[in-house]
């Protein structure tokens, strides 16, 4: 019976926290400090330590908070990682996107799934972690502007390296239809420049068309993409 009551309390607490988080208008590119302060205050009351990192204008904030274990015996920490921003609101909403609305067994609100829902669950479990004799540190990593260009995470990672926080198991709570994904696609971004040689249309062989070589380059990338599709 006690387990059922605890589960019900945990569920209700996660819904309460998610309702609060949805109320913060943390659209990408805008100020997310109120939500971060909410999370930090919540975790501080449970005994967590924390630090913040900021963008150049001190407008957008990352939070990294920790519930420390008394003894870890070398056991790697767990990082619960989520982004706090959401994409802009479309005109198709039939409810207030910044007010949690429950219909049946579903909760509607901007970011309820991607990914304030995960942050709410992580915070709801935090009191359990805080009252447990942990054998590893539990980190909470909440970043800004993932939905645009992943601007917040690199700033936080740079600070983690300075603080020698580098080993651990990271659980990223992106929506995956409740299936565990043990890896993620990576990517590289390059800026490529093409320079030509001016020539007259009467003797094109004496010039070099930058556009032509850029087109060849693009076509080669398309061929490479198709080859990778076949090998995946």
Q: Active-site positions?
A: 85, 146
Alpha-carbon span 54 to 56, nearest angstrom:
7
Q: Which two tokens stand for residue 118?
A: 């995960």
138: Cα separation from own chain's centroid = 17
Nearest to 42, CA basis, from 24, 69, 60: 24
Alpha-carbon span 5 to 9, nearest angstrom:
6
Alpha-carbon span 18 to 21, nearest angstrom:
5
H-only helix segments in 57-136: 116-130
- Exposed, middle or buried, 124 (CB in 10 Å: 0-12/13-18/19+)? buried
């Amino acid at each position: 019976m006690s387990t059922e009551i605890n589960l019900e309390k945990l569920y209700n607490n996660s819904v309460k926290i998610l309702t609060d988080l949805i109320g913060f208008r943390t659209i990408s590119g805008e100020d997310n400090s109120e939500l971060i302060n909410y999370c930090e205050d919540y975790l501080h009351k449970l005994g967590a330590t924390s630090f913040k990192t900021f963008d150049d204008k001190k407008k957008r904030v990352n939070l990294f908070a920790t519930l420390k274990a008394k003894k870890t015996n070398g056991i790697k920490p767990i990082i619960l990682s989520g982004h706090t921003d959401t994409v802009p609101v479309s005109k198709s909403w039939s409810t207030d996107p910044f007010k949690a609305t429950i219909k049946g067994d579903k909760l509607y609100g901007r970011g309820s799934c991607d990914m304030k829902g995960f942050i709410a669950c992580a915070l709801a479990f935090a009191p359990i972690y805080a009252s447990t004799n942990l054998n590893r540190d539990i980190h909470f990593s909440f970043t800004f502007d993932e939905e645009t260009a992943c601007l917040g995470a690199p700033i936080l990672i740079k600070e983690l390296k300075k603080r020698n926080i580098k080993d651990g198991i990271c659980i990223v709570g992106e929506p995956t239809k409740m299936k565990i994904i043990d890896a993620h696609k990576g990517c590289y971004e390059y800026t490529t420049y093409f320079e030509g040689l001016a020539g007259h249309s009467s003797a094109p062989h004496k010039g070099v068309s930058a556009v032509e070589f850029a087109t060849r380059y693009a076509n080669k990338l398309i061929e490479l993409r198709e080859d990778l599709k076949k090998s995946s």
